Amino acid sequence: MAERRAVTITYLRQSQRPRRPVPAAPAKGAALLRAVRPPTHFYRYLYRLIGDPHNWVSRRLLSDGEIEAIIHDDDVHIYVLYIDGSPGGFCEFDNRSRNDIEIKFFGLAPERIGQGWGGFFLGHCLDLAWSLAPESVMLETCTLDHPAALPMYQRFGFEPFDVRTGEVELLAD
């Protein structure tokens, strides 16, 4: 039987474009690229690279066809932060509702955490999301995410609108 862990999930909303300037890159060698209709194997690589340390499981349970139906939709945007030519971060946001953009996944590669890349990457991703003129940008985070995630989102103007508790089944490889 798989291990289960109690979590607190915080749902956040940003109802206006941030007024603060997008943070500068903490070092040279950064590039932010949109992955348009990426191959499923590349998407799974990014998802696992960024998400495994935080027990992201939802997309691991989907078939390749189910993933492709999501990530090949023109209103699903996937951005990859490259640092010195290698993936250092991953962001996926969903604009299919046309009113609210939901950041489904956001994070950094483990070796890039704590180096200042989070604010740089989030600032640019928010700028890209707001360029689509939504009414709001939403995301959720939980206690399995990096402890700096929630405070960073709040520094960027996200405000909690709901908090729930639940249990997550931890997946083994």
pTM: 0.93
In this predicted structure, what is the pLDDT of residue 134? 97
pLDDT digits 0-9 by tens, 110-125: 999 999 999 999 999 9
In this predicted structure, what is the pLDDT of residue 1? 62
In this predicted structure, what is the pLDDT of residue 56? 92
Paired strand residues for 5: 168
Q: For the chain, which domains are there?
A: 20-136 (3.40.630.30)
In this predicted structure, what is the pLDDT of residue 168? 85
In this predicted structure, what is the pLDDT of residue 173? 61
